[in-house]
Structure 1
Amino acid sequence: MNNGGILSRIVILCLIPLFLSSCNDDDLKTAAEISSKKSLLSKDRSLKVEIVFSDSAVVKAKGFAPVLDQVNPSSGSKYQEMPAGVKITFFDPLQTVTGTITSEYALRKETEQITIFKKNVVVVRNDLTFNTEELTWDQRKKMFFSPRGIVTRPDGTVLNAVNFSAPEDFSSVDFEQGSGETYVKGDLAP
């Protein structure tokens, strides 16, 4: 055996105690603490899901999600996640389509009765289109809320809306700090 091989083995044998001494009880306690805080959850995945919302046997809306994950965490409330997006179609009592909501992602919190639409959210009705990155439906309050978005009307009016809110049927919209362009019909001359 050559002297270089013996020397490298001696150096390695001297360094092993240094490496082992750097692992102490604190590191093991930290690892155990992190491990004990793991939350377990179960996830059930359904594909091509259609959800029907009705009131007194009258269909008010139908939702379609290509993927629906039912998540049941070991602690906390369960929720539904739609990672591939969702499309909801709204109907009047005569079953005529009154509008749609589409988004690339949605999360439904069952206990809170809140649905959060995210990523390229578009609400379409005959009298308006609303584009935003986040829209929350509060089922208890029967209202939609968004921190900001763009309202477009058929006449070409475009409004940037902050703190947007609307009832479930989008029959009216409220917002703060609106700005944009609007068009007025008629002759303005006296």
Structure 2
Amino acid sequence: MKRPGIIFGLVILCVFQLSLYSCGEDDLKKAVNLSKKISLDTNRTTSVEIIYSDSAKVKAKGFAPILDKIAPSNGANYQEMPKGIKIQFLDEQQKITGSITSDYAIMKETEKLIIFKKNVIVVNQNITFNTEELTWDQNKQMFFSPKGVVTQPDGSFANAVDFSAPQDFSYYKTGSGYGETYLKEGFGE
């Protein structure tokens, strides 16, 4: 009685291995075909400082440990910062007024967008904004994020959805959200 069970088990094992082998072979052929279609030209620079100026005045400085300039064979060029970036905003006297840091960033040259991802933190005298994704639209001179947490200097905070702010973060707008705020004594009297 034990032999038919063992033989049946071996037959099932062989059929299972054959099915895995056939699946893997087809996937491998597809991967080889895909790799032939995509061609990238990558140029890597380390310890990069990026200067953003407007009307011959430096408005921001960025620092990235690695900057990859990527030119796909079909598509628009872009720059990728796989080890993150830190940007410092400057006033007229070149004093730091705020910063953005993230663990990853991509600059899409044609669309004039910079997308910050992973542990994005914006800090200035008015707010601290934490999110996982923040987009700067150079054409609109605005920042956008699907969601994040805004913290005020007094400790009040808001979980914000559809966050937007001008490039100097002088104010911000949100679609909806919830949070905690502190009111001064006698407020509304």
User: Do the two structures share a fold, i.e. TM-score over 0.5?
Assistant: yes
Identify the TM-score tier after normalising by the shorter chain: 0.7 to 0.9
Equivalent residue for 2:133?
134
The alignment's TM-score, normalised by the length of structure 2, stands at: 0.81
Query: Highest CA radius of gyration, 1 or 2?
Result: 1
1:172 Cα deviation from its structure 2 partner: 0.7
1:36 Cα deviation from its structure 2 partner: 8.3
Matches within 5 A, 1:33-44: 34=33, 38-44=37-43
- 63-72 vs 37-46, greater mean Cα deviation: 37-46
Task: Give me the identity figure in percent.
Answer: 59
Matches within 5 A, 1:28-177: 34=33, 38-177=37-176
Structure 2 distance, partners of 1:174, 1:148, is 11
- Kept in 1: contact 2:161–2:174 (CA 8 A): yes
> Given residue 99 of structure 1, which amino acid in structure 2 is its aligned partner?
G
- Kept in 1: contact 2:148–2:159 (CA 8 A): yes
RMSD of equivalent CA atoms: 2.2
Change beyond 3 A, Cα 1:117–1:189: closer
Task: Please identify runs of 4+ aligned residues in structure 1 that moved more than 2 A.
Answer: 33-37, 187-190
1:34 Cα deviation from its structure 2 partner: 2.8
**In the TM superposition, what whole-angstrom CA distance separates every residue of 1:50-97 from its partner, at most 9, and x where no partner exists?**
000011221000000000000010000010000000000001112121
3-state SS of paired residue (1:174): coil
3-state SS of paired residue (1:99): strand
> Given residue 93 of structure 2, which amino acid in structure 1 is its aligned partner?
L
Flag structure 2 segments of 5+ consecutive residues without an equivalent. 1-21
1:176 Cα deviation from its structure 2 partner: 1.0
> Given residue 34 of structure 1, which amino acid in structure 2 is its aligned partner?
N
**In the TM superposition, what whole-angstrom CA distance separates every residue of 1:121-175 from its partner, at most 9, and x where no partner exists?**
0000011100000000000000000000000001111100000000000011000
Structure 2 distance, partners of 1:111, 1:163, is 24
3-state SS of paired residue (1:154): coil
Structure 2 distance, partners of 1:164, 1:36, is 38
- Kept in 1: contact 2:47–2:63 (CA 8 A): yes
3-state SS of paired residue (1:62): strand
Structure 1 distance, partners of 2:111, 2:187, is 50
